[in-house]
Structure 1
Amino acid sequence: MLQHVLETALRQTMNRLVKPFLRPAIPVSVQRTVTRQAYRSSVPPRGCRFQAGTLAGIPVISSSFGQATRGAVLYLHGGGYIIGSAATHKGLTGHLAKASGCMVVALDYRLAPEHPFPAALDDAEAAWLALIDEGFTPEQIAIAGDSAGGGLAIALAMRLRDSNQPLPASLTVFSPWTDMTQQALYSPTCEPVLQVSWIAKAATLYAGQESLRNPLLSPVFGNFQGLPPLLIQVGSQEILLNDAERLARAAREAGVKTQFEVFNNLWHVFQIHCGQLDRATAAVTTAGEHIREHLAD
Structure 2
Amino acid sequence: MLQQLLETGLRQTMNSLVKPVLNPAVPVSLQRRIVSQAYRSSIPPRGARFQKAAVGGVPATRTTYGNNPYGAVLYLHGGGYIIGSSATHRGMTGHLAKTSGCSVVTPDYRLAPENPFPAALDDAEACWNGLLEEGYKPEQIAVAGDSAGGGLSIALAMRLRDKGLPLPASLTVFSPWVDLTQEQLYAPECEPVLQARWTSKAARLYAGKEPLTNPLISPIFGDLSGLPPLLIQVGSQEILLNDAERLADAANRDNVQTRLEVFNSLWHVFQVHSGQLDRATAAMETAGEHIKRHLAG
TM-score where L is the length of structure 2: 0.99
Structure 2 residue matching 1:159: 3-state secondary structure: helix
Distance in 2 (CA, whole Å) between partners of 1:52 and 1:2 is 37
Distance in 2 (CA, whole Å) between partners of 1:291 and 1:263 is 20
Say whether the 8 Å CA contact 2:58–2:108 is kept in structure 1: yes
More deviation in 48-57 or 270-279?
48-57
How far is the alpha carbon of 1:70 from its aligned partner?
Answer: 1.1
Closer, same or farther: CA 235–124 of 1 in aligned 2, 3 Å? same
Distance in 2 (CA, whole Å) between partners of 1:179 and 1:69 is 35
In the other structure, the counterpart of 1:17 is 17
Q: Is there any run of 5+ residues in structure 2 with no aligned partner, and where?
A: none
1:186 aligns with 2:220: no
Distance in 1 (CA, whole Å) between partners of 2:15 and 2:105 is 30
Aligned residue identity for 1:152: L
How far is the alpha carbon of 1:58 from its aligned partner?
Answer: 1.0
Say whether the 8 Å CA contact 2:57–2:130 is kept in structure 1: no
Aligned residue identity for 1:32: R
In the other structure, the counterpart of 2:32 is 32
Large movers: runs of 4+ above 3 Å: none
Deviation string, structure 1 residues 17-39 (Cα, Å, up to 9, x no partner):
01001111100000001110110
1:279 aligns with 2:272: no
Aligned residue identity for 1:238: E
Distance in 1 (CA, whole Å) between partners of 2:243 and 2:60 is 29
In the other structure, the counterpart of 2:69 is 69
Q: Is there any run of 5+ residues in structure 1 with no aligned partner, and where?
A: none
How far is the alpha carbon of 1:69 from its aligned partner?
Answer: 2.0
Distance in 1 (CA, whole Å) between partners of 2:127 and 2:58 is 7
> How many residues get paired?
297
Distance in 1 (CA, whole Å) between partners of 2:188 and 2:149 is 22
How far is the alpha carbon of 1:102 from its aligned partner?
Answer: 0.2
Say whether the 8 Å CA contact 2:43–2:91 is kept in structure 1: yes
Distance in 1 (CA, whole Å) between partners of 2:175 and 2:150 is 7
Deviation string, structure 1 residues 47-74 (Cα, Å, up to 9, x no partner):
1111111112211111111124210000
Distance in 1 (CA, whole Å) between partners of 2:19 and 2:69 is 37
More deviation in 148-157 or 54-63?
54-63
TM-score where L is the length of structure 1: 0.99
Structure 1 residue matching 2:121: 3-state secondary structure: helix
In the other structure, the counterpart of 1:219 is 219
In the other structure, the counterpart of 2:7 is 7
Distance in 1 (CA, whole Å) between partners of 2:265 and 2:205 is 30
Structure 2 residue matching 1:261: 3-state secondary structure: strand
How far is the alpha carbon of 1:251 from its aligned partner?
Answer: 0.1
Distance in 1 (CA, whole Å) between partners of 2:67 and 2:25 is 47
Aligned residue identity for 2:40: R
The Cα RMSD (Å) is 0.5
In the other structure, the counterpart of 1:255 is 255
Aligned residue identity for 1:76: L
Deviation string, structure 1 residues 203-236 (Cα, Å, up to 9, x no partner):
0100001000001000011101100000000000
How far is the alpha carbon of 1:124 from its aligned partner?
Answer: 0.3
Distance in 2 (CA, whole Å) between partners of 1:67 and 1:195 is 40
1:240 aligns with 2:245: no
Alignment of 1:193-208 (within 5 A): 193-208=193-208
Distance in 2 (CA, whole Å) between partners of 1:126 and 1:66 is 27
In the other structure, the counterpart of 2:142 is 142
Distance in 2 (CA, whole Å) between partners of 1:222 and 1:149 is 17
Distance in 2 (CA, whole Å) between partners of 1:280 and 1:42 is 11
Aligned residue identity for 2:76: L
The sequence identity of aligned pairs, in percent, is 71
Deviation string, structure 1 residues 54-103 (Cα, Å, up to 9, x no partner):
11221111111112421000000000000000000000000000000000
